[in-house]
Each structure stands twice: as C-alpha cells, then as structure tokens.
C-alpha cells in the first residue's frame, strides 16, 4: 500500500462476506506515521554511546531501572521544575532529531515497514505556553 500501488478496499457498509471492493490508487497519497514513540530518545542515546539520564546531563553509568523511575516520579511531582522539564525536553528533542531507521526497528517496528518510509521527521516537544496557545487562540477554540 505504501509503495504507490492499486489496493482493493471493501465497501464500508457491506454486510456480505464477498462484498464489493473499491480500487484506490495510493501513488499520490501521503502516509504519515505519527505517534508518541516513548523511549525512542533513550534508544538513540544508547546508539550514540551516551547514557541519557535527563536534565541536560550525560553519564558513563546509567541509573538502575528502579532509580530512573524514582527520579522520573520525583521530578513530575516537584512544582518548581519547569526549567528542568524544559531542559529535558530540549535534550530529548536533540536525540530525536538524529533518529535513523535502525532506531525505529530497535523500538519494535518491522524492517519491511520502516524500509518503505523514506523520510523521518521529529517534532519538537510542546511547552505549557504552546499548549495554552493551541487551546485558546484558534477561531473555534475549546477554551475561549
């Protein structure tokens, strides 16, 4: 389907086992595979042989899983950690900008699928101000 072929798609409301199909030419369709991809930044940092521990620092020793989860839990409950969160987001964004196909394969995607995606683009993290603008500034905003 991603390679620009003609695909037979069954009709939506057909209840028959052998329903009518519609042919769709996927040649000029742009497929976007977006998502959260949680932990992909750590895979990239491991590939680059840097131990990612957050807050703009690297270390030769990675914290244990239990310690890393405690650090994450503590940091998310601290009210005065906006600058730390911003630093962590900047570091995460830095790693995600260097994402390669092999990182997505290690993340768990199948190579046959990744091989058909010619361009990988990482989006930047949104901060609180950006989220407020998204919710309040559009003409049909959810929060007036």
Q: With bands split at pLDDT 50, 70 and 90, how would you rate the model's confidence at 14?
A: low
Residue 82 region, left (φ>0) first, then alpha (ψ -120 to 50), else beta?
alpha
Domain boundaries, the chain: 32-136
Burial profile 66-78: b = 16 or more Cβ within 10 angstroms, e = fewer = eeeeeeeeeeeee
* Token pair of 59 as six digits: 């270390």
Burial profile 3-15: b = 16 or more Cβ within 10 angstroms, e = fewer = eeeeeeeeeeeee
pLDDT of residue 52: 55
pTM of the complete model: 0.61
Residues 88-113 have pLDDT tens digits of: 889 999 999 999 999 999 999 999 99
Mean pLDDT within 38-66: 70
pLDDT of residue 92: 92
């Amino acid at each position: 389907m991603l390679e620009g072929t003609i695909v037979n798609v069954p009709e939506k409301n057909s209840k028959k086992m052998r329903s009518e199909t519609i042919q769709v030419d996927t040649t000029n369709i742009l497929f976007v595979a977006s998502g959260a991809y949680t932990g992909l930044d750590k895979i990239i940092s491991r590939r680059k042989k840097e131990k990612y521990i957050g807050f703009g620092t690297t270390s030769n020793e990675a914290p244990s899983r239990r310690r890393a989860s405690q650090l994450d839990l503590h940091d998310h409950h601290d009210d005065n950690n906006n600058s730390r969160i911003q630093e962590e987001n900047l570091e995460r964004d830095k790693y995600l900008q260097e994402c390669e196909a092999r990182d997505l394969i290690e993340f768990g995607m199948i190579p046959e699928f990744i091989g058909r995606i010619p361009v990988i683009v990482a989006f930047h993290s949104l901060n609180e101000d950006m989220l407020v603008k998204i919710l309040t500034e559009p003409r049909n905003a959810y929060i007036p």
